[in-house]
Amino acid sequence: MEGVPPDSLKQEPVDLADFINLFDFEQMAKGKMTEMAYEYVASGAADELTVRWNRQALDAIKLNPTVLTDVSQLDTRISLFGQKLAHPILIAPTAYHKLMHPEGELATARGAGLASALYVVSSFTTTPLAEIAQVATQPLWFQVYVRDDREFTRNQIQEAEAQGCQALCITVDTPVPGVRNREQRGNFRLPAGVTIPHMGGPIVEKKPFTWNDIAWIQSFAKTPVLLKGILNPDDAEKAVQAGVSGIIVSNHSGRNLDTVPATIEALPRIAERVNRRIPVLMDGGIRRGTDVLKAIALGANAVLVGKPICFGLACGGAEGVAKVLQLLTYEFELAMILTGRATIDSIDRSVIWDSFRENKQG
């Protein structure tokens, strides 16, 4: 197959029935991916403290179930910017999917369709948006890095909208890449034949990227604009005042600035400041259905999942992506039932054990 790294074609069929949770996918993917590709996906910045904190903080939150509640009519549906979604679990933007599977982002889009999930396509896609849009059966959003060449960025956004992307996620936490030691040791590079058709090269920007640029994007964007990478409540307030459509609470999966807090720790402060004026989404460390429940209880309208999608893609292509999402959705449904919550709207802070709320307020 022309243009595909040879190592990525050495894939034996995997029985996806053997996978019972998202951690299984990472364990299997380590043996399916090239070492370089695995290190790229799994690694974080510097000492990877924030990577670990993302999980540890979610694990530390205790749930407060309610029993004898009628949960016979479970409803996980949500609405975002007029889009009706089957559940609040989205595919986060992640780069270079042809490093994980020969079909790259086409398989990811097909997997999203099988699992009824919205897919946020990365600017660092290795497949043209037009081809992804042809196979997508669920909504697509597009993630944007603002380049020094602002006209390049304008054209990129307009092409995404022309291809049917229904929202734009502007990454605001990466004026420069972070200190990625594991990635450096792995000598990361794109294999011959793998390209990034919508980026024109790596991020080496020198021109300041400011709130003025957000206003500029909104001046011509025809779709909702979300800011991805908000951790500070003051920035969240500025985003609301700037008129953006939504916020994604994100620490870039711990890949940029190490020792920033876990996203689940930042989420309640931001949700309180935003006070439902615009939707707030969250990514970072989501691996269990209980994680999804906790995020919604603490103010998220939806969550995004990145690394597990990459590992699912490596293990089983479209079906692997779908299995990751289906397992997570199933666990989320069980968590709702077992905590006595039949609808998304019924998931509030009362589902969090009091000691967590008291610690956060103290």
- Look up residue 5 and give its amino acid: P
Question: Does 285 reside within a domain?
Answer: yes
**312 is annotated as contributing to ligand binding:** no
**Does 357 score more than 50 pLDDT?**
no
Q: What is the mean pLDDT of the chain?
A: 93
Residues 267 and 298 sit within 8 Å (Cβ to Cβ)? yes
The pLDDT, as a whole number, for residue 6 is: 42
CATH number, domain with residue 136:
3.20.20.70
Is the pLDDT confidence value at 311 over 70?
Answer: yes
Query: Residue 22 pLDDT > 60, yes or no?
Result: yes
Predicted pLDDT of residue 205:
83
Domain contains 292: yes
Domain hosting 310: range is 22-57+71-332
pLDDT score of 105: 98
Q: Confirm or deny that 287 is annotated as ligand binding.
A: yes
In this predicted structure, the answer to whether residue 3 has a pLDDT above a threshold of 70 is: no
- Tell me the average pLDDT across 306-315: 98
**What is the arithmetic mean of pLDDT over 62-79?**
97
Query: What residues form DSSP beta bridges with 348?
Result: none
The span from the CA of 323 to the CA of 25, in Å, is 10
pLDDT of residue 13: 64
Query: Is 16 inside a domain boundary?
Result: no
**Is 349 within the bounds of a domain?**
no
Identify whether 248 is part of a domain. yes
pLDDT confidence bin for 201, thresholds 50/70/90: confident
Ligand-binding site membership of 252 (annotated): yes
Q: Which of 55, 104, 115, 71 is nearest to 328 (CA)?
A: 115
- Please state, in angstroms and rounded to a whole number, the distance separating the CA atoms of residues 267 and 298: 7
**Annotated binding-site residue? 40:** yes
Q: Residue 97 catalytic?
A: no
Q: What is the pLDDT, as a whole number, of residue 152?
A: 95
Q: Which of 97, 101, 198, 252 is catalytic?
A: 252
12: in domain: no
Is 343 annotated in a binding site? The answer is no
Q: What is the pLDDT confidence band of residue 298, given thresholds at 50, 70 and 90?
A: very high
Q: Decide: residue 223, CB within 10 A, 0-12 exposed, 13-18 middle, 19+ buried.
A: middle
360 pLDDT band, cuts 50/70/90, is low
Dihedral, CA atoms, 340, 331, 125, 216, nearest 10 degrees?
A: 10
Query: Based on the structure, what is the number of domains in the chain?
Result: 1
283 is annotated as contributing to ligand binding: yes
Mean pLDDT of 81-110: 97
- Tell me, yes or no, whether 324 lies in a domain: yes
**Alpha carbons 50 and 164: distance in angstroms, whole number:** 35
Q: pLDDT value at position 12?
A: 65
- 150-159 LR contacts (CB < 8 Å, sep 24+): 150/213, 150/216, 152/200, 153/217, 154/220, 156/123, 156/198, 157/217, 157/220, 157/221, 158/220, 159/129, 159/198
Lowest-pLDDT range of 42-46, 181-185, 211-215, 313-317: 181-185
Q: Tell me, rounded to whole angstroms, the distance of Cα 269 from its chain centroid.
A: 20
Give residue 185's pLDDT. 87
- 267 falls in which pLDDT band (50, 70, 90)? very high
pLDDT of residue 94 exceeding 70: yes
H or E element, residue 226 = strand 225-230
